[in-house]
Structure 1
């Protein structure tokens, strides 16, 4: 597959290849029909960079699980952590249309309906990472933000787009004292 977005990114040791990841996250590779039906169901156009990554591996736990922030949050003073990236699909518990996917977080947990929740966090639902379409409309290029349910659903800007978010993920060893 010819990469459009992650040309200079080394995916060695990016994904965590555990049985938990296989069981609850990793979906079969998405075809155009599935992508279109998921976009229709969620009401947003998925970013091309997200689709590209999901065609390399469709969801899963990650080894580089931390993203630096300039604001403190319920997780840490200087970063947030994710557990995994939700794949495009409906079969796995942690896929964007799965049992604990984006709509579940909005309908059952009261998260703001301003985009697609794509990453769960180690807090078991108390914070999430969102593709935020607030500034770009449902067909635009969403920003990536952290939503903190424990702090009245406070939004913290993370990255201008999904590719920048993925490239900015760091190993937890990069943050000391936590």
Structure 2
């Protein structure tokens, strides 16, 4: 898995991840975090994504064929998924299916979540986009598949100019 983050830490980047931090985050969240997510966070604990557009086959709150996710949340700090997920789910009315891991360009009405509905709190979650309508749409079967699916924003700039 390549590094999806912009170079250097940001406000969204937390401290180095260790086993104890993962255990505490999972205890707080009530879910086992996917290995691919934890492995990525061990390299950089959250931050701003370099390629931040994710293609979809359905319209989103952002566009007809993609959404923009600017930040992947880390763990173990005030801006981490373990500190923010429950609050965001309650505040925005997201379905209580798992863990909020993404901050989209609209910063609120829509989000990206790990969805544990099919495999339970200790199973492998899928990844879903939740639109402003609070309907979840599966975008990847695994976190690893999800993180590999991002494309540069430039791929959609021509579409924006046509409108």
TM over 0.5: yes
The root-mean-square deviation of aligned C-alpha atoms, in Å, is: 1.3
Aligned to 1:116: 99
Distance in 2, Cα, partners of 1:63 & 1:90? 21
Q: How far apart are 1:109 and its partner, in Å? A: 2.0
For 2:127 and 2:63, locate their aligned partners in 1 and report how far apart those are by CA, in whole Å.
Answer: 18
1:22 lines up with 2:7 in the alignment: no
Instruction: Report the equivalent of 1:106.
Output: 89
Report the TM-score when normalising by structure 2: 0.92
Unpaired segments ≥5 residues, structure 1? 1-5
- Report deviation, 1:59: 0.2
Q: State the Cα deviation string for residues 111-154 of structure 1 (Å, max 9, x = none).
A: 11110000010112111000000111000110011001x22x01
TM superposition shift of 1:62: 0.7
Q: 2:32 aligns with which of 38, 45, 54?
A: 45
Aligned-partner Cα distance in 1 for 2:148–2:49: 12
Shift of 1:63: 1.2
Aligned to 1:171: 152
List runs of 5+ in structure 2 lacking aligned partners. none
CA offset at residue 34 of structure 1?
1.2
C-alpha separation between the residues in 1 aligned to 2:13 and 2:59?
31
Instruction: Report the Cα distance in structure 2 between the residues aligned to 1:59 and 1:145, rounded to whole angstroms.
Output: 18
Give the C-alpha shift of residue 108 in structure 1.
2.0
> Which among 77, 81, 94 is matched to residue 90 of structure 1?
77
Shift of residue 169 of structure 1? 0.5
